[in-house]
């Protein structure tokens, strides 16, 4: 078993990290409101281990993440003022050591320098993936995690980096838009021309599946020209304009993303929509979340309460780990309000 350790050649150390209460206070930074929850089971009767994780580094270099399933904070040295990093990770539940994979990825993200452009971020994360791939292969472990990350420089658009089937959504009073493409077998089939848009939508956003075709640390099968190839490529396979089907163009895995003040952004692991009828729940999000004058903490509590009810109503399907981050860029009006954090 890989024992998560901070590298001794790096000044960061988890010995300086402090566990914090699960009762969190509202967090407002200079240009971003945020609320975070990571739960082992929304109903309390599901999984016995939380293999999800998250990372939030605020504009003063204060990091929040899970370590040994406990929410922890750490002050990062030399973090650039105003820069932020937000990530959701989902350890592969069908594999042993999924939690450790997500923790090691978070450890690497804590060590990764702040990036100000897409190439710098991609190079850094590709390098982290390769290092962890080798580390886990050497230990005889085949496991990994999803990673959806927003790097947010102070005066530039956010930078998106996506691997796996965790998602980011943009929500306003009239619409819910998924901004990422799941790295799942249906997407691979669509890339090969074997599924059309309606079939892909049915298999990815209407049906529920736990299979993925690419994971951080583990590698990818998405680039295979034969759908039934069983070899996992060490390298991550980036989805972009050159390989996405026409109906998914514009949803590149790695791209700039301008955060709008009239949207709520939701980053989450698949435990949030692992339901018999996920669209019925997702269609409720504008009512639940597009309320600009209510604190995000309250909105997130309401969302998870409704998720627990939906899980209980379907009875036979146990609930998964669930991690959700809500982001909102303050309007001029809310930005001028007193800071309660």
Question: Does a structural domain hold residue 85?
Answer: yes
pLDDT of residue 210: 79
Instruction: Tell me, yes or no, whether 217 lies in a domain.
Output: no
Instruction: Look at residue 210 and tell me if it is in a domain.
Output: no
Has residue 94 got a pLDDT over 80? Answer: no
Residue 208 resides in a domain = no
85-89 average pLDDT score? 98
Average predicted confidence (pLDDT) for the chain: 89
Which pLDDT score, from 0 to 100, does residue 306 have? 96
Q: Is residue 291 part of a domain?
A: yes
pLDDT score of 261: 93
Q: What is the pLDDT of residue 42?
A: 84
What angle is formed at CA 245 by the lines to CA 242 and CA 246, rounded to 5 degrees?
95
pLDDT value of residue 127: 98
Output the pLDDT for position 30.
Answer: 55
CATH number, residue 74: 3.60.40.10
Query: Three-state secondary structure along 158-183?
Result: EEEEEECCCEEEEEECCEEEECCCCC
Q: Is residue 243 one of the residues assigned to a domain? A: no
Q: Is the pLDDT of residue 289 over 50?
A: yes
Q: What is the pLDDT of residues 252-276, one digit of tens each?
A: 999 999 999 999 999 999 999 999 9
CB-CB contact of 166 with 89 (8 Å): yes
Mean pLDDT of 117-136: 98
Mean predicted confidence (pLDDT) in 26-55? 82
What is d(CA 41, CA 217) in angstroms, rounded to the nearest whole number?
25
Q: What is the pTM of this model?
A: 0.90
pLDDT value of residue 319: 76
Percent above pLDDT 70 for the chain: 86
Q: What integer pLDDT is reported at residue 19 of this predicted model? A: 61
| Predicted confidence (pLDDT) per residue in 64-74, tens digit | 999 999 999 99
pLDDT for the residue numbered 270: 94
Termini Cα distance of the chain:
39
Tell me which residue range forms the domain holding 163: 14-181+254-335
| Residue 18: predicted pLDDT | 63
Sheet of 322-328, strand order: 27-28, 33-39, 322-328, 264-268, 167-172, 175-178
What are the tens digits of pLDDT across the range 292-306? 999 999 999 999 999
Domain membership flag for residue 36 = yes
In a domain, 84, yes or no: yes
Phi, psi of 99 (to 5 degrees): -65, -40
pLDDT at 291 over 90: yes
CA 294 to CA 299: how far, in whole Å? 7
- Which tens digits make up the pLDDT trace of 178-211? 999 999 999 999 999 999 999 999 999 999 887 9
- Segment 236-242 long-range contacts (CB within 8 Å, at least 24 positions apart): 236/126, 236/129, 236/163, 238/122, 239/181, 239/183, 239/187, 239/191
Give the chain's domain count.
1
| Three-class SS state of 117 | coil
| C-alpha dihedral, 54 to 59 to 62 to 66, nearest 10° | 0
Where is pLDDT greater, at 8 or 80? 80
Average pLDDT estimate for 142-165 = 96
């Amino acid at each position: 078993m890989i024992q998560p350790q901070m590298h001794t050649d790096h000044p960061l150390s988890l010995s300086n990290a402090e566990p914090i209460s699960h009762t969190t206070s509202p967090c407002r930074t200079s240009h971003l409101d945020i609320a975070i929850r990571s739960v082992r089971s929304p109903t309390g009767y599901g999984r016995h281990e939380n293999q999800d994780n998250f990372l939030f580094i605020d504009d003063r270099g204060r990091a929040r993440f899970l370590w040994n399933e406990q929410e922890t904070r750490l002050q990062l040295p030399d973090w650039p003022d105003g820069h932020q990093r937000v990530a959701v990770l989902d350890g592969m539940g069908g594999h042993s050591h999924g939690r450790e994979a997500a923790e090691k990825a978070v450890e690497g993200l804590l060590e990764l320098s702040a990036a100000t452009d897409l190439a710098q971020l991609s190079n850094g994360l590709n390098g982290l993936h390769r290092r962890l791939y080798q580390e886990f292969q050497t230990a005889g472990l085949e496991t990994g995690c999803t990673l959806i990350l927003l790097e947010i420089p102070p005066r530039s658009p956010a930078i998106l980096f996506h691997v796996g089937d965790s998602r980011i959504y943009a929500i306003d009073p009239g619409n819910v838009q998924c901004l990422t493409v799941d790295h799942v077998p249906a997407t691979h089939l669509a890339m090969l021309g074997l599924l059309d848009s309606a079939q892909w939508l049915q298999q990815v956003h209407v049906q529920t599946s736990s299979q993925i075709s690419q994971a951080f640390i583990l590698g990818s099968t998405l680039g295979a020209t034969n759908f039934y190839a069983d070899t996992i490529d060490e390298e991550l396979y980036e989805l972009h304009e050159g390989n996405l089907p026409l109906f998914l163009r514009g949803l590149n895995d790695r791209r700039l993303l301008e955060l709008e003040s009239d949207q709520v952004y939701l980053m989450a692991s698949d435990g949030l929509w692992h339901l018999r009828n996920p669209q019925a729940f997702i269609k409720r999000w504008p009512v639940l979340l597009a309320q600009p004058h209510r604190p995000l903490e309250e909105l997130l509590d309401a969302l998870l309460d409704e998720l627990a009810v939906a899980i209980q109503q379907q009875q036979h399907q146990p609930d998964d780990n669930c991690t959700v981050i809500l982001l909102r860029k303050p309007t001029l009006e809310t930005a001028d309000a007193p800071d309660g954090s």
